[in-house]
Chains A and B, each alone.
Chain A
Amino acid sequence: AQKITQTQPGMFVQEKEAVTLDCTYDTSDPSYGLFWYKQPSSGEMIFLIYQGSYDQQNATEGRYSLNFQKARKSANLVISASQLGDSAMYFCAMRRGRGAQKLVFGQGTRLTINP
């Protein structure tokens, strides 16, 4: 069975600093996808970044990058130059195989950016 583990319930970071949110995963499938979503207090789930298990390079989307270490089964999210608007819950998720997006989510990390 797939499992996503986010070991940081909460993180506090100073504005403009970089922050790394940890995510480890467990699967026996050779083909899988890894996602990060942001959930502000308003509740919507905002797609941030995606990494396929066969992708050769780490994914990047603007200030977001995914530090994909396949052998360690980790997919940490790095946010550069944090902003006050980055304060939110962050969820790591995994899709097994290809096709339908039946994602398994972690427990989430609450990120607070201090001015």
Chain B
Amino acid sequence: DTGVSQDPRHKITKRGQNVTFRCDPISEHNRLYWYRQTLGQGPEFLTYFQNEAQLEKSRLLSDRFSAERPKGSFSTLEIQRTEQGDSAMYLCAITYRETNEKLFFGSGTQLSVL
């Protein structure tokens, strides 16, 4: 158990719809990250938070994507007007203060845009 819970596990949506994913770090942690993994590729960094502050956003994160972490605990990732190219696994990850170098991932949300 990595201490990261993601919901939903799977999401199927139609092109043009909005979707929102949630990440709940169960344990005490330092920073929270979002990554995206498309089929046959390794994960790619999207954005990260320290407490409520979103400190960096990748160029992969178009203006249709928005991530929030309102109280410095759980985080949400919203995609507006979904496109078929958004189909991917969206992974949330955290670092713990004691082992700051190590990144621990949740099980991810698999998004399929039809």
* A positions within 8 Å CB-CB of B: 4, 33, 35, 37, 42-47, 50, 52, 91, 93, 95, 100-108
Contacts and interface: CB of A to CB of B under 8 A. Distances in A.
A47 B106 CA distance: 11
A102 B43 CA distance: 10
Contacts of B107: 42-44
B21 interface: no
Given A91-B43, A102-B56, 7 more contacts: A42-B107, A44-B2, A45-B91, A45-B93, A47-B2, A47-B105, A50-B102
Contacts of A52: 101
A17 B45 CA distance: 34
A33 to B, nearest CB: 5
Interface in B26-74: 31, 33, 35, 40-45, 48, 55-56
B48 A47 contact: no
Q: Is the interface of B mostly helix, strand, loop or mixed?
A: strand
A47 B42 contact: no
Interface of B: 2, 31, 33, 35, 40-45, 48, 55-56, 89, 91, 93, 95, 101-108, 110
B56 A100 contact: yes
Nearest to B105: A45
Contacts of B110: 43
Contacts of A91: 42-43
Nearest to A49: B102
Contacts of B102: 35, 47, 50
Contacts of B55: 100
